[in-house]
């Protein structure tokens, strides 16, 4: 038996795997299928579409399209989906993220120009992009705390609770705006730079299909930074571990000493904070703190989360998967734009994608349960 | 001796087949049923004659409930057949069994709280007139039935479901069964929550039903009741029918002896030296489930907690672990009085708890072995919230090796391991946490014999290393084989304490099934139990 033990230790104490297998460990098999799906989708948009008589696919691989359209379009939904992933991994759902984004939009711009319910209080200095961002994120955190409080202390099912707060926060966004009207911020150049600015414009990157390199949008960089932070949070911290544990089996997690109430409140606050940030960026992009800014965005975010492999029961899924799914949703929308489908068709396609994503998630759960039963027999 | 008896039975069954049974009898022929890692029933044959009361007795896990569930269509049999009235029958679900005239009445009947007795009795087949419920007919039939069996005063037909006592619920369930044409009626532990007077009433009813030609199966742990009521007794052990005899030929001692039956094998190791100082002391603990519980556990000691299902042992463990609240009483750990508010609190104070249902309460089945093992110690392995993954792996490997958990890798999903290895993962988690007191609730449930022996060895090693172990088990051989001392619980009390040397299965069973020693009874210990919110 001692030899067995030794073999086991050397095998698992220090893993010496080659690069490729480590790469696949990092991605995971679920995410590999997402990468293949993305690849096929791009292939369809760029190559197959012309075979069925659709034109426009050749414009996909241009810097103009990739950096101006695609990279910017995915940011807001991407951020919302990142926050939503944390909640989904713990086995819950937050459908108020779009409304929280609206609040973030209104509050950040109202602080920026000193109008509206919160801006006129004068808590934060005016004309400061930094404090505008802080205010937007903070209102998101407060909204998230309210969600967490309702779920944990009032014992309301998370979906129902956030359905209620979705309506409430959407209304609150109007109440926070002066007379319910959008707050214009066109003149605030450092604020609009968040959405319109470019980084690494001067890099000597060659043109692609005749379209010149114009830099990476600041927006996209923000998404990447937040995604990395969330990846680290979920993978390398006790917080992340506990989220997975609660999603996997809340009773067992509680009996292992995890404070479920505090964890749930914290994860809703994280989701809220990121949604608030998304709202700030929305305001910057549209140059206005409009209370309807975030409406309907939760739908796309939730689609991305479940498409990204998060289990509807919780406990399974990765940040990487969510980002892949955000890309798929982005390419789908972008490709359909290029190929000339109108927005109604896009909505139908997105709805079907959500159903397909959840169906696949359920299929995975059933498969893994079957595999488990097999082992037992 | 058991083998010889089994031969007798099979010949007995053969004669029964040739000799005609009265119409309405149920024959069970060569029925087997296996669950993962457990052979719940092995080739059981017996017949329940119309107009007799047949008792099923056996220890927990002997196969009584499985047999009832097969008769009721809850479970499908692996092999063998059921013959009702001379016709082979197969039930895909309980409805088909009901339709054929078989009714099993479980310990805790399903009563709809918001409707009255009459409607509860008619539920599913409400009488209709012009598409509306025919209340008049409904009430009349119920009233007639209740009067016929002498229960009109006991169960007023207008009471609502949630106003009913345990005994009344039982009667409503029986009335439900009688309303339709019932041939076989099975009662599972019907008296466990009844007072003496109610038991007498129930017996009168059951005898009346027998005289009306119904075949009655009566499952109970209370042997004196069985001898009083039943015509024949079938004794089950480890999924096999040991014997079936007229009740008049059996004594209480004989039944207990036949139920227990086996010799202690040498799977139990006891290498540990004598025990040390007192680690846990509980004084006069009262809770919703418990009355005046006092006991102690020393370091290096394995203390067994025996008792029937529902005696309050799991609840006691959960009170100690902070899951449930105590009302009164004191708990001392390592000489200091402690109050445990929740599981986190318990862990910090040095208590570990391996729950009875490892899949529902113990493990995160869809996560890895690594994550499951390091769950409790993850805070200690972290700095500023970041997990030290090298340390984590080293710790996990250490305990996975020490417990010899057989897994292809630390990344393996725990749900894909066998039951024994899953249990070892739970134990590894608690060993890593280095508790002072470890509570093991049914640690060998549902795992195979080989894995059981390994767990026994491990428990001995743990005690030897100075841990105080509270060992809850419903399997008497392992309680006897492992424990230094044994507390026997019944109905929320500790009814006795036995030293390892003096304890025998007979003594434990007697204490576990003793008639209530005190007049004060904890009512309905398991009904309406609400768990704290997650």
Contacts of A8 (CB under 8 A, 6+ apart): B397, B400, B401
CB contact under 8 A, B389 and A236: yes
Confidence band, pLDDT 50/70/90 cuts, at residue A8: very low
Question: Which of B344, B366, B429 would you mutate first to test chain A, the one with the most A CBs within 10 A?
Answer: B366
Taking alpha carbons only, the member of B317, B377, B379 closest to residue B353 is: B317
pLDDT of res. A154 = 94
A240 vs chain B: nearest CA distance in angstroms?
10
Contact (Cβ atoms closer than 8 angstroms) between residue B55 and residue B232: yes
Confidence band, pLDDT 50/70/90 cuts, at residue B245: very high
Q: Residues A169-177: what's their mean pLDDT?
A: 94
Residue B417 sits at φ, ψ, to 5 deg, of: -90, 165
Chain A residues with CB-CB distance to B429 below 8 A:
256
Token code pair at residue A208: 């692609």
Chain A residues with CB-CB distance to B400 below 8 A:
8, 12
A vs B, Cβ pairs < 8 A, gives 111
pLDDT of res. B17 = 43
Q: Residues B55-59: what's their mean pLDDT?
A: 86
Burial of residue B530, with CB atoms counted within 10 A of its CB: 0-12 exposed, 13-18 middle, 19 or more buried? exposed
CB contact under 8 A, B404 and A244: no
> What are the structural domains, with CATH classification, of chain A?
37-43+56-376 (1.10.3470)
- Torsion, CA B390, CA B391, CA B395, CA B396, rounded to 10: -40
Taking the C-alpha atoms of residue B185 and residue B211, their distance in angstroms, rounded to an integer, is 13
Helix extents (H) in B486-534: 505-513
Contact (Cβ atoms closer than 8 angstroms) between residue A253 and residue B347: no
Contact (Cβ atoms closer than 8 angstroms) between residue B164 and residue B116: no
Residue B242 sits at φ, ψ, to 5 deg, of: -85, -50
Between B36, B346, B394, which is nearest A377 by CB? B36
Tens digit of pLDDT for each residue in B312-371?
A: 899 999 999 999 999 999 999 999 999 999 999 999 999 999 998 888 899 999 999 999
Top-confidence residue, B380 or A119: B380
Between A13, A253, A377, which is nearest B364 by CB? A253
Question: Which of A256, A258, A264 would you mutate first to test chain B, the one with the most B CBs within 10 A?
Answer: A256
pLDDT at A10 over 60: no
Q: In which residue are the tokens 């029964």 written? A: B16
Per-position b or e across B149-170, b if 16+ CB within 10 A of its CB: bebeeebebebebeebbbbbbb
Q: Does B427 touch chain A (CB under 8 A)?
A: no
Quickly count helices (H) and strands (E) in chain B: 17, 24
CB contact under 8 A, A258 and B389: no
Taking alpha carbons only, the member of A266, A276, A272, A326 closest to residue A302 is: A326
Top-confidence residue, B128 or A321: A321
Chain A residues with CB-CB distance to B366 below 8 A:
248, 311, 315-316, 368
pLDDT at A114 over 80: yes
Average pLDDT score over chain A = 87
Weakest mean pLDDT among A34-38, A175-179, B46-50, B399-403: A34-38
pLDDT at A146 over 90: yes
Count other C-beta atoms under 10 Å from residue A29's C-beta: 9
Which 76-135 residues of chain B touch chain A by CB within 8 A?
A: none
Taking the C-alpha atoms of residue A99 and residue A82, their distance in angstroms, rounded to an integer, is 16
Contacts of A365 (CB under 8 A, 6+ apart): A311, A312, A313
pLDDT at A169 over 90: yes
Contacts of B225 (CB under 8 A, 6+ apart): B191, B199
B45: part of which helix (H) or strand (E)?
Answer: strand B38-48
Q: Residues A68-83: what's their mean pLDDT?
A: 93
Q: For strands B326-333 and B493-499, give the pairing.
A: unpaired
Weakest mean pLDDT among A10-24, A76-90, B75-89: A10-24
Q: Where in chain B is the domain with CATH 3.40.50.300?
A: 2-108+182-260, 275-350+435-525
Per-position b or e across A57-80, b if 16+ CB within 10 A of its CB: bebbebbbbebebbbbbbbbbbbb
Confidence band, pLDDT 50/70/90 cuts, at residue A245: very high
DSSP B465: T
Residue B465's Cβ-side half-sphere holds a number of Cα atoms within 13 Å equal to: 11
User: What is the dihedral sign for C-alpha A369, A372, A376, A377?
Assistant: positive
Q: What share of chain A is helix, strand, coil (3-state, %, to 5)?
A: 75, 5, 25
Tens digit of pLDDT for each residue in B428-446?
A: 999 999 999 999 999 987 7
Q: For strands B386-387 and B437-441, give the pairing.
A: unpaired
Largest CA-CA distance found in chain A, in angstroms, rounded: 77
Question: Which of B39, B394, B534 would you mutate first to test chain A, the one with the most A CBs within 10 A?
Answer: B534
Token code pair at residue B289: 């489930």
Q: Does B239 touch chain A (CB under 8 A)?
A: no
Top-confidence residue, B200 or A129: A129
Token code pair at residue B78: 């692996």
CB contact under 8 A, B367 and A237: no
CATH superfamily of B2-108+182-260: P-loop containing nucleotide triphosphate hydrolases (3.40.50.300)
User: According to CATH, what is the number of the domain B275-350+435-525?
Assistant: 3.40.50.300
Chain A residues with CB-CB distance to B409 below 8 A:
11-12
Chain A residues with CB-CB distance to B373 below 8 A:
none
Q: Does B388 touch chain A (CB under 8 A)?
A: no
Tens digit of pLDDT for each residue in A214-244?
A: 889 999 999 999 999 999 999 999 999 999 9
Taking alpha carbons only, the member of B104, B97, B101 closest to residue B66 is: B104
Which 112-171 residues of chain A touch chain B by CB within 8 A?
A: 155
Q: Does A56 touch chain B (CB under 8 A)?
A: no
Confidence band, pLDDT 50/70/90 cuts, at residue A25: low
B29: part of which helix (H) or strand (E)?
Answer: strand B26-35
Q: Residues A250-267: what's their mean pLDDT?
A: 95
Token code pair at residue A104: 């973030």
Taking the C-alpha atoms of residue B505 and residue B474, their distance in angstroms, rounded to an integer, is 11
Tens digit of pLDDT for each residue in B407-427?
A: 888 988 898 887 888 999 999
DSSP A288: E
Q: In which residue are the tokens 């996209």 written? A: A220
Q: Which residue of A has its CA nearest to B414?
A: A372
Between A238, A259, A368, which is nearest B387 by CB? A238
pLDDT of res. B169 = 83
pLDDT of res. B369 = 94
Weakest mean pLDDT among A110-124, B143-157, B244-258, B508-522: B508-522
CB contact under 8 A, B347 and A257: yes
Q: Which residue of B has its CA nearest to A314?
A: B366
pLDDT of res. A368 = 72
Between B36, B365, B379, which is nearest A249 by CB? B365
Taking the C-alpha atoms of residue B20 and residue A192, their distance in angstroms, rounded to an integer, is 94
Tens digit of pLDDT for each residue in B185-239?
A: 999 888 766 777 778 888 888 998 899 899 999 998 778 888 999 999 999 988 8
CB contact under 8 A, A375 and B389: no
Q: Which residue of A has its CA nearest to B363?
A: A252
pLDDT at A7 over 70: no
Between A155, A244, A257, which is nearest B376 by CB? A257
Q: Which residue of B has its CA nearest to A250?
A: B534
A237 vs chain B: nearest CA distance in angstroms?
4
Q: Residues A32-40: what's their mean pLDDT?
A: 84
Beta pairing partners, B139: none
């Amino acid at each position: 038996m001692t030899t067995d033990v030794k073999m086991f230790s050397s095998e698992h104490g220090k893993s010496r795997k080659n690069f490729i297998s480590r790469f696949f460990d990092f991605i995971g098999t679920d995410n590999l299928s997402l990468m293949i799906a993305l690849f096929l989708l791009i292939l369809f948009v760029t190559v197959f579409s012309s075979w069925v008589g659709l034109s426009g696919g050749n414009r996909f691989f241009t810097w103009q399209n990739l950096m101006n359209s695609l990279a910017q379009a995915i940011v807001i939904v991407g951020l919302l989906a990142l926050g939503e992933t944390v909640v989904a991994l713990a086995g819950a759902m937050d459908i108020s993220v779009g409304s929280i984004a609206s609040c973030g939009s209104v509050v950040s711009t109202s602080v920026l120009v000193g109008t509206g319910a919160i801006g006129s209080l004068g808590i934060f200095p005016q004309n400061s992009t930094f404090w505008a961002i802080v205010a937007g994120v903070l209102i998101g955190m407060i909204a998230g705390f309210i969600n967490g409080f309702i779920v944990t202390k009032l014992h309301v099912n998370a979906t129902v609770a956030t359905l209620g707060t979705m309506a409430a926060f959407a209304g609150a966004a109007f109440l926070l705006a002066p007379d319910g009207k959008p707050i214009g911020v066109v003149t605030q150049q450092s604020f609009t730079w968040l959405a319109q600015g470019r980084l690494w414009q001067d890099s000597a990157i060659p043109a692609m299909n005749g379209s010149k390199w114009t830099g990476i949008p600041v927006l996209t960089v923000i998404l990447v930074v937040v995604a990395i932070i969330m990846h680290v949070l979920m993978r390398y911290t006790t917080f992340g571990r506990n989220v997975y544990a609660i999603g996997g089996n809340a009773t067992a997690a509680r009996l292992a000493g995890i404070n479920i109430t505090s964890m749930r409140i914290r994860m809703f606050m994280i989701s809220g904070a990121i949604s608030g940030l998304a709202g700030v960026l929305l305001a910057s992009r549209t140059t206005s703190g409009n209370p309807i800014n975030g409406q309907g965005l939760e739908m796309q975010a939730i689609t991305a989360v479940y498409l990204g492999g998060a289990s509807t029961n919780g406990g399974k899924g990765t940040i990487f998967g969510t980002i892949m799914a955000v890309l798929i949703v982005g390419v789908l929308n972008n490709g359909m734009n290029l190929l000339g489908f109108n927005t109604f068709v896009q909505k139908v396609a997105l709805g079907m994608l959500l159903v397909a994503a959840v169906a696949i998630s359920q299929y995975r759960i059933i498969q893994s349960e079957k595999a488990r039963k097999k082992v037992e027999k | 001796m058991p083998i010889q008896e089994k031969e007798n039975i099979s010949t007995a069954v053969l004669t029964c087949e040739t000799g005609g049974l009265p119409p309405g009898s149920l024959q069970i022929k060569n029925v087997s049923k296996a669950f993962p890692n457990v052979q719940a029933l092995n080739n059981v044959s017996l017949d329940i004659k119309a107009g007799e009361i047949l008792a099923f007795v056996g220890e927990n896990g002997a196969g009584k409930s499985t047999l009832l569930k097969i008769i009721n269509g809850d479970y499908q049999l692996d092999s063998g057949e059921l013959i009702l009235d001379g016709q082979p029958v197969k039930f895909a679900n309980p409805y088909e069994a009901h339709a054929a005239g078989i009714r099993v009445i479980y310990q805790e009947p399903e009563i709809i709280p918001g409707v009255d007795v009459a409607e509860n009795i008619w539920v599913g087949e409400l009488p209709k007139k012009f598409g509306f419920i025919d209340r008049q007919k409904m009430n009349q039939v119920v009233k007639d039935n209740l009067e016929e069996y002498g229960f009109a005063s006991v169960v007023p037909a207008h009471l609502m479901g949630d106003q009913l006592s345990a005994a009344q619920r039982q009667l409503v369930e029986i009335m439900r069964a009688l309303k339709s044409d019932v041939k076989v009626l099975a009662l599972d532990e019907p008296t466990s929550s009844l007072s003496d007077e109610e038991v007498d009433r129930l017996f009168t009813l059951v005898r009346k039903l027998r005289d009306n030609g119904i075949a009655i199966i009566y499952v109970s742990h209370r042997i004196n009741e069985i001898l009083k009521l039943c015509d024949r007794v079938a004794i089950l052990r480890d999924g096999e029918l040991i014997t079936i005899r007229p009740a008049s030929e059996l004594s209480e001692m004989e039944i207990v002896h036949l139920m227990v039956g086996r010799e202690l094998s040498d799977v139990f190791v006891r290498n540990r030296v004598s025990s040390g100082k007192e680690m846990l002391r509980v004084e006069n603990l009262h809770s919703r489930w418990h009355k005046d519980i006092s006991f102690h556990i020393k370091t290096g000691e394995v203390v067994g907690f025996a008792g029937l299902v529902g005696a309050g042992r799991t609840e006691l463990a959960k009170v100690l672990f902070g899951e449930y609240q105590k009302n009164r009483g004191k708990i001392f750990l390592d000489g200091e009085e402690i109050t445990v508010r929740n599981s986190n609190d318990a862990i910090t104070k040095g208590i570990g708890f391996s729950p009875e249902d490892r899949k529902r309460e113990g493990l995160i089945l869809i996560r890895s072995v690594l994550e499951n093992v390091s769950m409790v110690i993850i805070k200690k392995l972290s700095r500023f919230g970041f997990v030290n993954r090298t340390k984590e792996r080293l710790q996990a490997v250490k305990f996975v090796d020490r417990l010899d958990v057989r897994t292809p890798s630390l990344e393996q999903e725990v749900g894909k391991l066998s039951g024994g290895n899953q249990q070892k993962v739970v134990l590894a988690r608690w060993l890593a946490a280095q508790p002072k007191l470890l509570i093991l609730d049914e640690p060998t449930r549902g795992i195979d014999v080989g894995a059981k022996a390994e767990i026994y060895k491990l428990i001995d090693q743990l005690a030897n290393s100075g841990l105080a172990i509270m060992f809850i088990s419903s399997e008497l051989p392992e309680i006897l084989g492992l424990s230094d001392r044994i507390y026997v619980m019944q109905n929320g009390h500790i009814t006795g304490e036995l030293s390892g040397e003096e304890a025998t299965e007979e003594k434990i069973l007697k204490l576990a099934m003793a008639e209530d020693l005190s007049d004060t009874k904890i009512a309905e210990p398991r009904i309406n139990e609400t768990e704290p919110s997650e």
